[in-house]
Amino acid sequence: MQDLVIRRPDDWHLHLRDGDMLRGVIADTSRHFARAIIMPNLVPPVVTSADAAAYRERIVAAIPAGDRFEPLMTLYLTAGTSPDDVEAGHKSGLVKAVKLYPAGATTNSHSGVRNIDEAMPVLERMAKIGLPLCVHGEVTSSDVDIFDREAVFIETVLDPLRKRLPELKLTMEHVTTKDGVDYIKTSKANLAGSITTHHLIINRNAILVGGIKPHYYCLPVAKRENHRLALRAAATSGDARFFLGTDSAPHVDPLKECACGCAGIYTSINTMSCLAHVFEEENALDKLEAFASLNGPAWYGVPANDETITLRKQVDAVSYPAKIDTGAGPVTVFDPMFPLHWAVV
Ligand code: NCD
Ligand code: ZN
């Protein structure tokens, strides 16, 4: 038996949804994680500070008794977002980041931004008050191949935005390519990246080889093996610019297993076991705490958690359900395709 004690982790990119789904999934996060950045892509989206305050109350009401968990709220950036509302939300301590979804990039992103110019007044205010912008880094034009959308976004949107507004703090979320990793590494300030659990484990073969596997489909879509290896190197390097954002994104099975299945992989329940496995494979267990518990708080300007969790390597495989039942329906859990031996005890 081997024990690894780390500060309690946080999840810097999480979809909790609402209603029955929220109540069905939140315990899988609050069991292990102290805080999470909550994605605002509800229907309708969380656009104003008032929306975020109401959503936060619904989340807090769903936290299981005895769990200490703090939802960190975000606003969904639209052409109509008011700089004053964003600033007031931030000043009150409620709003921790604003999320940029290019229109049409992913689940419920039709309200997203079509042209970055229309968002400049809000972005300028955010730069002034030090509020980070979380970016879904993919272009959406139909003439760009889906596997190239991140690289093209960096070149045509992200880099020009950083040059135009260097004071703006940007989180490039769920980086999936070597291009993204390399781009973040060139930055001296105001740019960091989150990496999901599943992009450290699967490449695009998982989705497409031996039949189409909807439970490995997410956005940004998993890329070639060389990109997965670049993500693993970045995550396990200890580099403070990279941290965990699971992007755990539950959808009920009927909406995944159909002719036009939703994007999203549900990893909250087994993320810590998966990460310990990956970091051990990379001989980097000593870097897991930086990735999951230290780099994110430093980037978002909050203290790391005082509490710890213990990961224990056991002989028997860790058991976790293949599906969870939520009041909204069954949700399939991420299958890393290897047995997990690190348990959170
Ligand atoms: C997310 C979802 O379902 O809300 N899906 C996903 O594949 N990650 C949206 C997102 O974060 O892109
Ligand atoms: Zn997401």
Domain residue limits, the chain: 2-344
Residue of 18, 145, 247, 316 with catalytic role: 247
CA of 225 to the centre of ligand 2 (A): 21
3-state secondary structure of 230: helix
- Nearest ligand to the CA of 252 is 1
Ligand 1 atom with least separation from CA of 41: 4
Indicate the annotated binding residues for Zn(2+): 13, 15, 99, 136, 174, 247
pLDDT at 311: 98
Q: List the residue whose alpha carbon is closest to atom 6 of ligand 1.
A: 264
- Find, among 180, 129, 125, the residue nearest to 150 by Cα: 180
Indicate the annotated binding residues for substrate: 15-17, 41, 136, 219, 251, 263
Angle at 271 between CA 265 and CA 276, to 5 degrees: 140
pLDDT at 109: 82
Q: Under 8 Å CB-to-CB from 106, ≥6 apart: which residues?
A: 41, 136, 138, 219, 263
Q: List the residue whose alpha carbon is closest to atom 5 of ligand 1.
A: 264
Indicate the annotated binding residues: 13, 15-17, 41, 99, 136, 174, 219, 247, 251, 263
Residue 65 CB neighbours (<10 A): 4
Q: Under 8 Å CB-to-CB from 40, ≥6 apart: which residues?
A: 46, 47, 51, 52, 55, 73, 74, 75, 76, 99
pLDDT at 103: 87
- Nearest ligand to the CA of 265 is 1
User: Would you say domain 2-344 falls under CATH 3.40.50.150?
Assistant: no
Q: List the residue whose alpha carbon is closest to atom 9 of ligand 1.
A: 107
Q: Under 8 Å CB-to-CB from 117, ≥6 apart: which residues?
A: none
CA of 250 to the centre of ligand 1 (A): 9
- Nearest ligand to the CA of 112 is 1
CA of 19 to the centre of ligand 1 (A): 18
CA of 76 to the centre of ligand 1 (A): 14
pLDDT at 333: 99
pLDDT at 110: 84
Q: Under 8 Å CB-to-CB from 245, ≥6 apart: which residues?
A: 11, 12, 13, 14, 37, 173, 174, 194, 195, 196, 296
Note the residue count of the chain.
345
* Separation between Cα atoms, residue 321 and residue 21, nearest integer Å: 17
CA of 98 to the centre of ligand 2 (A): 13
- Best of 42, 247, 251 to mutate for ligand 1, by most ligand atoms within 8 A of CB? 247
pLDDT < 70 positions in the chain: none
Whole-model pTM over 0.85: yes
Q: Under 8 Å CB-to-CB from 130, ≥6 apart: which residues?
A: 169, 301
- Nearest ligand to the CA of 249 is 1
- Best of 11, 22, 41 to mutate for ligand 1, by most ligand atoms within 8 A of CB? 41
3-state secondary structure of 211: coil
Active site residue 3: no
CA of 249 to the centre of ligand 2 (A): 6
pLDDT at 146: 98
Ligand 1 binding site (Cβ under 6 Å of any ligand atom): 15, 41, 106-107, 136, 218-219, 247, 249, 263-264
